[in-house]
Amino acid sequence: MAGQFRSYIWDPVLIVSQITLMQCVYYSSLGLWLAAMDLLIKYSPSLDQIFNYELLGFSSVHGRVSMMAFILNSVTCALGLLYFIRRGKQCLDFTVTVHMFHLLGCWIYLAQLPTTLTWWLLNIVCIALMAVIGEYLCLRTELHEIPLSSAPKSNV
């Protein structure tokens, strides 16, 4: 058997831990972004901002600001992918998983699936941003040179 650079061992505990960690990153950073945006427009924060799809939209200032918080959260979660997942091939998997659990949370919170086009388009944009930025950052770190010796180079 030939040696491999990385071992690909099925580790369900690691995968479940990473999914849980990414959900924590998603909701904590989303909460921070929404709180910061609410301070700017002097709006009282509520759980509806996270789970109620009817609040998102272009018709009100609050809806536009909430949508901006979701987009900024995608960038923050891409950094979470870089620090906690560290594999470019897995970025799309974890991104879709996080958003599927968010869809499930919205469904449970309102007892119905989101029906507005704005919510679906926003989540598609957020999935694309989070996956592409996360994969780019992970691939940059994966492509770093590996030093072959610890001895200092001589210029002779």
Question: What secondary structure, in 3-state letters, does 5-59 show?
Answer: CCCCCCCHHHHHHHHHHHHHHHHHHHHHHHHHHHHHHCCCCCCHHHHCHHHCCCC
**Which of 29-33, 87-91, 147-151 has the lowest average pLDDT?**
147-151
pTM, entire model? 0.85
Higher pLDDT, 9 or 97: 97
Handedness of CA 28, 30, 33, 34 (dihedral sign): negative
Instruction: Name the phi and psi angles at 94, rounded to 5.
Output: -70, -35
pLDDT at 119: 95
Quote the tokens at residue 133. Answer: 């930025």
Q: How confident is the model at residue 66 (pLDDT cuts 50, 70, 90)?
A: very high
pLDDT at 107: 96
- Condensed to tens digits (0 to 9), the pLDDT of residues 110-137 reads 999 999 999 999 999 999 999 999 999 9
Higher pLDDT, 133 or 146: 133
